Amino acid sequence: MNRILIAEDEERIASFVEKGLRANGFTTTIAADGTTAFGYARNGGFDLVILDIGLPFRDGFSVLRELREARVTMPVIVLTARDSVRDTVAGLEGGADDWMTKPFRFEELLARVRLRLRTATHTPEVTVLRSGSLSLDLRTRRARAGERTVDLTAREFVLLELFLRHPGQVLSREQILSHVWGYDFDPGSNIVDVYVRALRKKLGAAQLDTVRGMGYRLPG
């Protein structure tokens, strides 16, 4: 199981990223300032760092530079509100493996995390997810239910991918909202129920279970 350090001082974003990563099987630790982040990253046995630039005590550029000077080679994804070309170039030349600007979609961050971990460990890429009679091709973005090929909208694809990566696990509406719709989601929205109904209509009513009071589950 991969361990990821989230170096982020904005509590709402740190919590959002942590929940999403844990829902996808990662172990996480949060560091709310640059000094703590550097200590954890150098000595904590992590596989990847998600690094904010605007950290207190020691900014992300300093943390990144000192990690590389200390020959810490684990992947670093910079996550920041700074979007100038100058800052991006400085981060990448300073040793960052990737750069994302806020606001961001969690599924994009997750894809970049997986890519960097694969690159670091040379793990073969999984291109088709399967569970029972369901399969989802991550390249063509098409699903199959038994012998039927099913076309999905962008949100339906992300939602089905989430279920297929966690067969048998109950996913709460909050987990689904944060993963598919991002950290600015409305917790009172019924959009999850709407999209689950749409998937059931396309894939078959028995493919997704409702767990009353808890959320939804893809039978394992």
- Last-in-domain residue among 121, 142, 171: 121
Same domain, 134 and 117: no
- Those residues whose C-beta lies under 8 Å from the C-beta of residue 35, and which sit 6 or more positions away, are 57, 58
| Residues 58, 133 within the same domain | no
- Does 93 share its domain with 140? no
Q: How far apart are the two ends of the chain, measured CA to CA in Å?
A: 20
Determine how many CB atoms are found less than 10 A away from the CB of residue 159: 25
- What CA–CA distance (Å, rounded) separates 161 from 130? 10
- The residue that leads in pLDDT, 58 or 91, is 58
Label residue 12 by pLDDT band (50, 70, 90).
very high
In a shared domain, residues 153 and 50: no
- Which of 67, 91, 121 is the C-terminal boundary of a domain? 121
Domain coverage including residue 197: 128-217
| Residue 94: per-residue pLDDT | 65
Q: What is the CATH number of the domain that holds 144?
A: 1.10.10.10
CATH number at residue 15: 3.40.50.2300
Are residues 95 and 29 located together in one domain of the fold?
Answer: yes
Instruction: Return the pLDDT at 81.
Output: 79
pLDDT digits (tens, 9 = 90+) for 81-133: 776 656 656 656 667 888 888 888 888 899 999 988 887 665 555 678 889 89
Residue 39 has pLDDT above 60, yes or no: yes
Please tell me whether residues 167 and 87 are part of one structural domain: no
Please say whether the beta carbons of 112 and 98 come within 8 A: yes
State the Cα torsion 207-219-143-110 to the nearest 10°.
130
For β-strands 3-7 and 27-31, DSSP reports them as: parallel
Indicate the SS3 state at residue 139: coil
Q: Give the number of C-alpha atoms closer than 13 A to the C-alpha of residue 174, restricted to the C-beta side.
A: 7
Number of domains in the chain: 2
pLDDT in tens, 147-162: 899 999 888 988 998 8
- Residue 194: what pLDDT? 93
